[in-house]
Chains A and B, each alone.
Chain A
């Protein structure tokens, strides 16, 4: 990649000098407290954890180029921490107890100091116990130096979360005691009768038998149900509202701060132009709906033209609950709330990797294998990849090429980021365009394309019945750290052998998701891996120190799907030596 990184290096070399010359680098000082608070979702109230007395915590806004000093005071009776999710910073500032520091003891104040070297939409949250599910999260907006590659008249943070009436530690315990404790979408005798009516008794029986043999549930999509989805802390009844004037362009910064829940987001009546993912600008893509994995961010621009209320509608992936809010020209308006769609069921394709070698599963394994291969094949076309992947992904659209309207994606082929025949592969409620990873193209590549120096396989493994989650079959407690060498480019191969979807998050360094688009591969901090699929991401190992690498589903991370990463070598000052350039805005 070109000018960008050269400029960045030049900047880095003369950072101090540049700062003096430009006089632009400010040192903002901020104060945060971690407090015991009351959470009120409109459906329940409970005690929780917040920042500066609220959950979500205050929206923090820093300026790219700023050196921030953040004093965090722990008013809890237990250790706390704040992790700056997606930020490129010295590891000692990353805020992961047990890896980067000891955490913040009760009554103590810890002062974070780090430079802001990027821009975009991010978030911050506690990385201690279950404080994040209990409410300790907030939005973090980094304003760019450079002009943004898009324009808008106003903006809102739309921070989603799955507020649960139970405390996190209780939830974890319940899941260990009974893995389906919170699954109230299980198939019942009533469902059996209705299946028998639809498919015939034999087919319904044989289907139940197949799943029963595996001791798995096709409904095992949301481990944790019974939550109230919130937008900026407000439940559907409390109706978070963002105001607009008709015709204005409105930027919505979606952040999924849920402990466990993926959301399918749409605004009926509006198309959304996705301009940023995980803090990095992407080449704008117009969609009708998108799925946001836990801990991801997506920034979209909408242009509501009419003088009416539009509903921001986010159904959970398992369709057990929805978040809703309103974009309205005036306060107090409520848009129509759509019905939730039918809950999906996992298929044998999603089970592909879940129980390898299990008798009677040949057919399903076959499906999953085919899919894994096809995804890999897409990725092999690196040299002419920009359009290759697109063309491959959308053969069906050729037939619609003479159509002059934009709804022609109605018969879009299966999403390549789900197993072939997956029950989870989403479609847009209006039959329009549903975003998938292949649609994300970096607006400005952060790093030159180069061959990875090595590949590390990470099989995502687990045992649902024991509620044990692991990587390569080994839990965090029993695992050696992953050792990386400064300066290498590592290709991570994620093989999801479970039936759950895992949002994998590497701290401190970017995750370049390989969508087969070469330099345009999107730059992320969370990569969601669907059941029965294999996907790759590459990381330029440019940040010395100790980092966390884990599934961002809170109860998966806590039960072992977690690794410590040690980056050896590199500059002794422990600063990220190849500062990345801002791409967000």
Chain B
């Protein structure tokens, strides 16, 4: 974490230099995609996934945080914070550079991020990130907002993490992907500010990563029923 701070400061300086012209007010907000409780067979998980952003049309500073807290074990299975700089490169896509700190229970990992964030044809929201360090990995995320009605929204999502090298310490093997798929049915309760949802979440490891899990006596896959809320402010 300590290594992150100076970087963040540098980024903030860069942002203010390249930031909004005097006439334009800064854009800021918090988008919480997931704030949920996952009820599983063996363990329950509290999870969040949010972006807090500040900046302009041209350049945004994004703080992205994702976490999975194992309730029974009382520890973070995942705790991942990123500082990302995002700038448009086409009508619908932004290029991203940034830093990621993984500080769950167990060993910490730090990496640089380069990626793409945007809206693909047919309204798929896409994140594609390459995490650069001595333990590089790739992550692809896609999400779709399916409007059942204008307030009842069904969101299927998929996230694939693909480690490019072994990192047995944290339980991943080279080219052994983990896949998370979700289906969340939300209702816009207060504008789009609060949209509670119920849904299902399934995650599964493949290849070497799955093997590592099994060796640890864990399941390669886990299924959860989730309840939570989206927040947009």
Do A and B touch directly, given a CB cutoff of 8 Å in the complex? yes
**Provided the pairs A189-B146, A466-B57 are in contact, do residues A478 and B21 lie with their beta carbons within 8 angstroms?**
yes
Selecting from B119-127, B171-179, B217-225, the interface stretch reads: B119-127
A209 within 8 A of B: yes
Is B91's CB under 8 angstroms from A465's CB? yes
CB within 8 A of B148: which of A185, A189, A558?
A: A189
B23 within 8 A of A: yes
Is B24's CB under 8 angstroms from A213's CB? no
Residues of chain B from 1 to 32 with CB closer than 8 A to chain A in the complex: 20-25, 27-29, 31
Total CB contacts across the A-B interface at under 8 A: 73
Is A176's CB under 8 angstroms from B27's CB? yes
Cβ contacts under 8 Å, A169 to chain B: 25
Q: State A288–B213 Cα separation when bound (angstroms).
A: 74
Cβ contacts under 8 Å, B20 to chain A: 477
A98 within 8 A of B: yes
Is B150's CB under 8 angstroms from A186's CB? yes
Q: State A329–B148 Cα separation when bound (angstroms).
A: 47
Cβ contacts under 8 Å, A177 to chain B: 27, 29, 31, 53, 232
Q: State A174–B24 Cα separation when bound (angstroms).
A: 15
Cβ contacts under 8 Å, A560 to chain B: 24
In the complex, how many residues of chain B place their beta carbon closer than 8 angstroms to a beta carbon of chain A? 29
Cβ contacts under 8 Å, A174 to chain B: 29, 191-192, 232
**Provided the pairs A468-B57, A477-B21 are in contact, do residues A463 and B91 lie with their beta carbons within 8 angstroms?**
yes
A190 within 8 A of B: yes
CB within 8 A of B192: which of A172, A173, A178, A468?
A: A178
A181 within 8 A of B: yes
Is A173's CB under 8 angstroms from B121's CB? no
Chain A nearest Cβ from B54, distance in angstroms? 11
Is B25's CB under 8 angstroms from A188's CB? no
Is B119's CB under 8 angstroms from A215's CB? yes
Q: State A476–B23 Cα separation when bound (angstroms).
A: 8
Chain A nearest Cβ from B88, distance in angstroms? 7
Q: State A181–B28 Cα separation when bound (angstroms).
A: 15
Chain A nearest Cβ from B90, distance in angstroms? 10
Interface string of A209-230 (1 = CB under 8 A from B): 1001101000000000010000
CB within 8 A of A465: which of B119, B147, B148, B232?
A: B119
Instruction: Find the B residue at minimum CB distance from A478.
Output: B21
Is A215's CB under 8 angstroms from B123's CB? yes
Cβ contacts under 8 Å, A558 to chain B: 25
CB within 8 A of A213: which of B29, B57, B121?
A: B121
Q: State A463–B28 Cα separation when bound (angstroms).
A: 18
**Provided the pairs A169-B25, A463-B91, A465-B92 are in contact, do residues A190 and B148 lie with their beta carbons within 8 angstroms?**
yes
Cβ contacts under 8 Å, B154 to chain A: 189
Is A475's CB under 8 angstroms from B29's CB? no
A187 within 8 A of B: yes
B215 within 8 A of A: no
**Provided the pairs A475-B57, A477-B24 are in contact, do residues A188 and B147 lie with their beta carbons within 8 angstroms?**
yes
Instruction: Find the B residue at minimum CB distance from A214.
Output: B121
Is B148's CB under 8 angstroms from A188's CB? yes
**Provided the pairs A178-B232, A477-B23 are in contact, do residues A173 and B150 lie with their beta carbons within 8 angstroms?**
no
A184 within 8 A of B: yes
Cβ contacts under 8 Å, A468 to chain B: 57
Is A212's CB under 8 angstroms from B147's CB? no
B151 within 8 A of A: yes
Instruction: Find the B residue at minimum CB distance from A166.
Output: B191
Is B147's CB under 8 angstroms from A213's CB? no
Chain A nearest Cβ from B53, distance in angstroms? 8
Q: State A98–B22 Cα separation when bound (angstroms).
A: 10
Cβ contacts under 8 Å, B150 to chain A: 184-186, 188
B72 within 8 A of A: no
Chain A nearest Cβ from B20, distance in angstroms? 7
Is B147's CB under 8 angstroms from A189's CB? yes
Q: State A476–B29 Cα separation when bound (angstroms).
A: 23
Instruction: Find the B residue at minimum CB distance from A173.
Output: B29
Is B151's CB under 8 angstroms from A184's CB? yes
CB within 8 A of B122: which of A178, A213, A478?
A: A213
Chain B nearest Cβ from A351, distance in angstroms? 14
Interface centre among A188, A558, A559, by most chain B C-beta atoms within 10 angstroms, is A188
Chain B nearest Cβ from A187, distance in angstroms? 7
**Provided the pairs A188-B147, A463-B91, A477-B21 are in contact, do residues A181 and B27 lie with their beta carbons within 8 angstroms?**
no
CB within 8 A of A172: which of B25, B53, B151?
A: B25
Cβ contacts under 8 Å, A477 to chain B: 20-24
Chain A nearest Cβ from B51, distance in angstroms? 10
Q: State A465–B123 Cα separation when bound (angstroms).
A: 11
Interface centre among A169, A185, A465, by most chain B C-beta atoms within 10 angstroms, is A465
CB within 8 A of A181: which of B23, B121, B192?
A: B192
Cβ contacts under 8 Å, A181 to chain B: 191-192, 232
Q: State A181–B230 Cα separation when bound (angstroms).
A: 14
Cβ contacts under 8 Å, B88 to chain A: 466
Q: State A98–B24 Cα separation when bound (angstroms).
A: 12
Q: State A560–B57 Cα separation when bound (angstroms).
A: 11
Cβ contacts under 8 Å, A215 to chain B: 92, 119, 121, 123
Is A173's CB under 8 angstroms from B27's CB? yes
Interface string of B92-119 (1 = CB under 8 A from A): 1000000000000000000000000001
Q: State A559–B148 Cα separation when bound (angstroms).
A: 31
Instruction: Find the B residue at minimum CB distance from A181.
Output: B192
Instruction: Find the A residue at minimum CB distance from B154.
Output: A189
Chain B nearest Cβ from A558, distance in angstroms? 8
Cβ contacts under 8 Å, A478 to chain B: 21
Q: State A176–B55 Cα separation when bound (angstroms).
A: 11
Cβ contacts under 8 Å, B57 to chain A: 176, 466, 468, 475, 559
Chain A nearest Cβ from B179, distance in angstroms? 25
27 CB-based A-B contacts, threshold 8 Å: A98-B23, A176-B27, A176-B29, A177-B29, A177-B31, A177-B232, A186-B150, A188-B147, A188-B149, A189-B148, A190-B148, A212-B121, A212-B122, A215-B92, A215-B123, A463-B91, A465-B91, A465-B119, A466-B57, A468-B57, A475-B24, A475-B57, A476-B23, A477-B24, A558-B25, A559-B24, A559-B57
Q: Which 10 pairs across A and B sit closest by C-beta, in order of nearness?
A: A477-B21, A212-B122, A188-B147, A177-B29, A176-B27, A184-B150, A477-B23, A213-B121, A189-B148, A477-B24
Additional pairs, 5, CB under 8 Å, beyond known A172-B25, A226-B191:
A174-B232, A181-B191, A190-B148, A215-B92, A465-B119
On B, residues with C-beta under 8 Å from A are 20-25, 27-29, 31, 53, 57, 88, 91-92, 119, 121-123, 146-151, 154, 191-192, 232
